Chain A
Amino acid sequence: AQSVTQPDIHITVSEGASLELRCNYSYGATPYLFWYVQSPGQGLQLLLKYFSGDTLVQGIKGFEAEFKRSQSSFNLRKPSVHWSDAAEYFCAVGAEGYQKVTFGTGTKLQVIP
């Protein structure tokens, strides 16, 4: 069975600082990996996804993620955080075939001035 671990429940960074959110997955075959963002009172929005090819994936809002098979990781990064990035971030892993996507428990990002 597929699973996702987001070890950080809550992260605080200063505006302008760099950000890295950790994600570790467990899946036997090549995974489909996603990062979603959820702002308060909103649904989830897809930031980026990885299926195959280049292991460094660019997404919206200046985010990127790197797939490392040897570490079973798919960490999300942003070089300079903006106050509007404060939200909850979910990593998810999918299986081939129909959309069986398993979400992690999320990391809540707080941005301080």
Chain B
Amino acid sequence: EAGVAQSPRYKIIEKRQSVAFWCNPISGHATLYWYQQILGQGPKLLIQFQNNGVVDDSQLPKDRFSAERLKGVDSTLKIQPAKLEDSAVYLCASSRGGRVSTEAFFGQGTRLTVV
């Protein structure tokens, strides 16, 4: 079974530029998550999708971050415009269901550096 795929693995951009990350979850997983992991901190949930609907985006900075999951499969996370403090690893995860008891599987992440 293929795991969660993310691209790109690394991205360096200048502040005020825009960037997009892509995630392909495990086949059949209805729930998809985007996490932000700043150096020295644990992952923080940005947004959770159930199929193509948003379940929780309470910690997503909506003035600059956006995410979509068209057709309930792949997802993209966009930052526009980027700030220095957005430098982090962005992790995508997926699970069969949205309950906390369902194991989430994580991708390798995209490391973003904003200069």
Query: A residues touching B (Cβ–Cβ < 8 Å)?
Result: 4, 32, 41-46, 49, 51, 90, 92, 94-106
8 Å CB contact of A43 from B40, B41, B108? B108
Query: B residues touching A (Cβ–Cβ < 8 Å)?
Result: 4, 31, 33, 40-45, 48, 50, 55-56, 91, 93, 95, 98-109
Known contacts A32-B100, A51-B101; A99/B95 CB under 8 A: yes
Asked whether, in the complex, the Cβ of A100 is within 8 Å of the Cβ of B56, the reply is yes
- What distance in Å separates the Cβ of A23 from its nearest Cβ neighbour in chain B? 11
Asked whether, in the complex, the Cβ of A103 is within 8 Å of the Cβ of B44, the reply is yes
Residue of B31, B43, B56, B108 with most chain A CB atoms under a 10 A cut-off: B43
Asked whether, in the complex, the Cβ of A105 is within 8 Å of the Cβ of B41, the reply is yes
Known contacts A44-B91, A45-B106; A99/B42 CB under 8 A: no
8 Å CB contact of A97 from B40, B93, B100? B100
How many angstroms between the C-alpha atoms of A51 and B100 in the bound complex?
A: 10
How many angstroms between the C-alpha atoms of A44 and B104 in the bound complex?
A: 9
Please give, as numbers and ranges, the residues of chain B lying within 8 Å of A45 by CB-CB distance.
Answer: 106
Known contacts A41-B108, A43-B91; A99/B40 CB under 8 A: no
